[in-house]
Every structure is written in structure tokens, then in C-alpha cells.
């Protein structure tokens, strides 16, 4: 699998609790493509604090659109209203390769409760990618990315709404392409770990519930907008939101059963 993963180097190596680390395309790209929110960070040279923006996006490969994201390198396409801030950033921080940027996808899968607060933890899956961002200027690539991002969040929505976008829409949409330099994932699974001394304390053990409270994104019953004229929610929307919630639930419970890491 060595050819199907990101190279481990200083910036992306998971050092602490290294067994929780993963570098393969499948794990990392799946996290970016299933997290409904990505956090994007970049440096604004006008002050000392990095910027963090919540945005939406997914992986893609415009030059090789049929490539399998589980087995091939990908770019990350990001779309967001706030991206104007990104590109007002003085170019001093951007290199020829683009603006250095970090993208993170995080799922919380559960709260892990042990006998003592010190051993409480969380089950989670998170990916982080370091790369260089550029504004997509080519209309075809913008269209590719808009379609990809729309259908990544809700499959078939693109075909089931008014497309193609108008020229004005295409020209006023900011799409970022991030060339990934390196990436890694980190996953925590299992139940609580305990100190031996605490386990010997029978009163404590008998009086303290320990285990995991699972958590997932629940997509609820859709609410029609003021302009909606369809009596029922379309099947592909219902199917998606029910399946997505079930998948989140299954992942959260599976994480508990997996060998702890």
C-alpha cells in the first residue's frame, strides 16, 4: 500500500500515540469527503494570528476525473462565501506554488467516560492536509468543482436543480484548489482505559458509570422553504439524509467496539 499513501515527513507525522495515525489515501480522502464542514487555516501576515474559516469542500482531480480517491492523489476543492478574505491576503505569504494552507476534517464519535477525569477521552476521526491553494480561474474546472462539491454533500442535487449555472454565477463563485503537499489522519477508538488503583476501589467502581456516549450528525426531517411548491420531499433527499444519519450512528457505535487505539 506504500504507493497509495502520503509520505510521512516532519509536518504530517503523528508522533504522540503514533498507532492512532494513518497516511493512506482512502482514510484521509474519505474523511474530507464525508465531513460536512472543513476548517481551513492560513496565515495573514498583517497580524500574528492564523485565520480559521469553516468552509465546505471535497477532494477531486480535474486532470484525472475518473481517478479513485481511495487509491490516487487528489486535490481539495473548497468553496465559501468568506474566501474573499483569503485572497485579499498580501501575496507575501504566497509562493509560486500558491498560498500555504491547512485543511482539517473532524468527526467526534463519542465521549469516553472513565473512573477519573484524567482518563476521560473522545472517540474521533480527524484528517489534516497541508498544501498550496490557488483560485480556480478556468471556467470548466470551476464547473467541475461546483458540481463535485454540490453532489458530495447531497448526491444527485446538481442534476435535480437548475443547471448549468449562469455565466454571472460562474464568474462570481470563488473556488479554491488545494494541491496537497502532505496529509495524515488520526483516529481514536475503543472504550475507557483505567488505572489499576481505581479498579481496585470497589466503592468507586460500583458507583461510577463508565463507558462511551456515542455522538453523530443527525439529519432531521426537512423543512420546506417559503418558495417550495413540492408537497413531498424528493426521494433522493430523504434517502440521503436517512442513510447519512444511520451511517453516522453506525460509525459511532463501531468505534466503541473496535480495539482501542
**Alpha carbon 212 to its chain's center:** 23
CB atoms within 10 A of CB 235: 9
Q: Which stretch binds its own copies (CB under 8 A): 22-30, 62-70, 134-142, 214-222?
A: 214-222
Q: State the Cα–Cα distance between residues 42 and 40, nearest whole angstrom.
A: 7
Residues 23 to 52 in contact with its own copies, rule: CB under 8 A: 36-37, 39, 41-44, 46-52
Residues 221 to 240 in contact with its own copies, rule: CB under 8 A: 221-230, 232-234, 237
Asked if 242 interacts with its own copies (CB under 8 A), we say no
Kindly write out the interface string for residues 99-138 of this chain, putting x where it contacts its own copies by CB under 8 A and - elsewhere.
-xxxxx-x-x--x-xxxxxx-x-x-x-x-x-xx-------
Binds its own copies by CB under 8 A, chosen from 2, 65, 207, 259: 207
C-beta separation of 122 from 108 below 8 A? yes
Closest approach of its own copies to the CB of residue 25, in Å: 19
In a 3-state reduction of DSSP, which class is residue 171?
helix
Q: State the Cα–Cα distance between residues 245 and 251, nearest whole angstrom.
A: 10
Closest approach of its own copies to the CB of residue 119, in Å: 9
Q: State the Cα–Cα distance between residues 74 and 78, nearest whole angstrom.
A: 13
* CB contact set of 119 (below 8 Å; sequence gap of 6+): 192, 193, 194, 195
Size of the site for its own copies (CB under 8 A): 108
Kindly write out the interface string for residues 71-100 of this chain, putting x where it contacts its own copies by CB under 8 A and - elsewhere.
----------xx-xx-------x-x----x
Closest approach of its own copies to the CB of residue 108, in Å: 5
Asked if 181 interacts with its own copies (CB under 8 A), we say yes
Length of the chain: 261
Closest approach of its own copies to the CB of residue 224, in Å: 4
| Grid cell of 14 as nine digits | 503523528
| Grid cell of 78 as nine digits | 473548497
Residue among 74 and 83 whose Cβ is closer to its own copies: 83
Q: Phi and psi of 198, rounded to 5°? A: -65, -40
Residue among 33 and 102 whose Cβ is closer to its own copies: 102
C-beta separation of 27 from 14 below 8 A? no
Binds its own copies by CB under 8 A, chosen from 140, 213, 246, 261: 213
Q: Which stretch binds its own copies (CB under 8 A): 25-33, 59-67, 68-76, 211-219?
A: 211-219
Asked if 156 interacts with its own copies (CB under 8 A), we say no
Binds its own copies by CB under 8 A, chosen from 63, 65, 137, 162: 162
Query: Of 130, 54, 127, 57, nearest to 85 (Cα)?
Result: 54
CB atoms within 10 A of CB 158: 16
Amino acid at each position: 500500500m506504500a504507493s497509495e499513501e502520503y509520505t510521512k515527513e516532519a509536518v504530517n507525522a503523528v508522533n504522540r500515540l503514533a498507532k492512532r495515525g494513518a497516511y493512506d489515501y482512502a482514510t484521509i480522502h474519505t474523511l474530507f469527503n464525508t465531513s460536512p464542514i472543513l476548517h481551513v487555516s492560513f496565515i495573514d501576515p498583517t497580524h500574528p494570528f492564523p485565520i480559521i474559516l469553516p468552509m465546505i469542500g471535497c477532494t477531486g482531480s480535474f486532470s484525472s476525473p475518473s481517478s479513485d480517491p481511495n487509491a490516487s492523489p487528489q486535490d481539495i476543492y473548497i468553496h465559501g462565501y468568506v474566501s474573499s478574505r483569503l485572497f485579499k491576503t498580501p501575496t507575501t505569504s504566497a509562493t509560486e506554488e500558491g498560498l500555504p494552507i491547512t485543511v482539517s476534517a473532524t468527526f467526534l464519535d463519542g465521549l469516553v467516560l472513565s473512573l477519573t477525569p484524567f482518563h476521560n477521552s473522545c472517540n474521533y476521526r480527524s484528517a489534516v492536509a497541508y498544501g498550496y491553494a490557488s483560485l480556480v480561474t478556468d471556467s470548466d474546472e470551476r464547473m467541475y468543482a461546483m458540481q463535485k462539491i454540490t453532489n458530495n454533500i447531497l448526491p444527485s442535487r446538481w442534476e435535480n436543480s437548475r443547471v448549468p449555472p449562469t455565466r454571472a454565477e460562474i464568474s462570481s463563485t470563488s473556488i479554491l484548489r488545494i494541491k496537497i503537499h502532505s496529509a495524515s489522519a488520526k483516529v481514536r477508538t475503543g472504550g475507557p482505559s483505567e488505572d489499576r488503583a481505581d479498579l481496585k476501589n470497589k466503592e468507586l467502581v460500583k458507583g461510577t458509570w463508565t463507558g462511551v456516549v456515542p455522538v453523530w450528525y443527525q439529519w432531521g426531517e426537512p423543512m420546506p422553504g417559503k418558495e417550495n411548491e413540492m408537497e413531498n420531499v424528493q426521494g433522493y433527499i430523504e434517502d440521503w439524509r436517512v442513510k447519512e444519519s444511520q451511517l453516522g450512528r453506525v460509525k459511532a457505535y463501531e468505534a466503541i467496539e473496535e480495539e482501542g487505539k
